[in-house]
């Protein structure tokens, strides 16, 4: 996908978002207009939507790491979860609410960073566990943070 101007980049990002989250087909140029950039990659995204979202998600972790850090900051993770996962998995909103509630006291934040394991397993959790957690298995090997979230959500006594 060769893009050489900011307007083409804006168009490509908009169309990529459509391919990852919406079920619209890639734009087909009509004979009177020239394709502004090669859309081959968009067609690949459309054909492999789940794999493409996973690739973007895994890339985001590497992008968010600072220098040689092994983890990413919790605030960065929350922002990325909202942008990357929320359109496909709206239940991430509850997980974000849990993190924010546990970190409400700036002086006693429960979560400060996200490991690569938690990052990867969060996507897997969203893909395999129903939003209402009715099929959540506490014996499964989820990271402790996801187990704590499930307990919090099932209690139902959290925040407003």
- Considering Cα of 98, then 140, then 124, then 75, what sign does the dihedral take? positive
> Which domains occur in the chain, in start order?
6-47 (no CATH), 50-155 (1.10.238.200)
pLDDT at 32 over 60: no
pLDDT at site 72 = 96
* CA 42 – CA 39 distance, rounded (Å): 5
pTM: 0.75
**Which pLDDT tens digit goes with each residue over 106-137?**
888 899 999 999 999 999 999 999 999 999 99
* CA 113 – CA 65 distance, rounded (Å): 10
The tokens of 135 are what?
Answer: 């099929």
Enter the DSSP assignment of 73.
E
* CA 92 – CA 100 distance, rounded (Å): 12
pLDDT at site 77 = 95
Spatial CB neighbours of 75, under 8 Å, sequence gap ≥ 6: none
Measure the CA angle with vertex 13, ends 11 and 19; round to 5°.
Answer: 105
pLDDT at site 34 = 64
Beta bridge partners of 72: 114
**Nearest to residue 121, comparing CAs of 29, 65, 57?**
57
């Amino acid at each position: 996908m060769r893009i050489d101007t900011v307007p083409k980049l804006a168009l490509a990002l908009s169309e990529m978002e459509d391919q990852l989250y919406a079920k619209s087909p890639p734009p087909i140029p009509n004979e009177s207009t020239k394709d502004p950039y090669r859309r081959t990659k968009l067609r690949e995204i459309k054909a492999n939507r789940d794999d493409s979202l996973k690739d973007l998600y895994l890339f985001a972790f590497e992008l968010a790491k600072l220098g040689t850090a092994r983890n990413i900051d919790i605030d960065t993770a929350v922002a990325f979860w909202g942008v990357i996962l929320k359109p496909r998995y709206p239940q991430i909103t509850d997980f974000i609410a849990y993190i924010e509630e546990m970190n409400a006291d700036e002086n006693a934040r429960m979560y400060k960073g996200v490991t690569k394991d938690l990052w990867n397993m969060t996507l897997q959790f969203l893909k395999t566990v129903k939003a209402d957690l009715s099929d959540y298995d506490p014996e499964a090997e989820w990271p402790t943070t996801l187990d704590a979230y499930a307990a919090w959500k099932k209690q139902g006594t959290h925040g407003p």
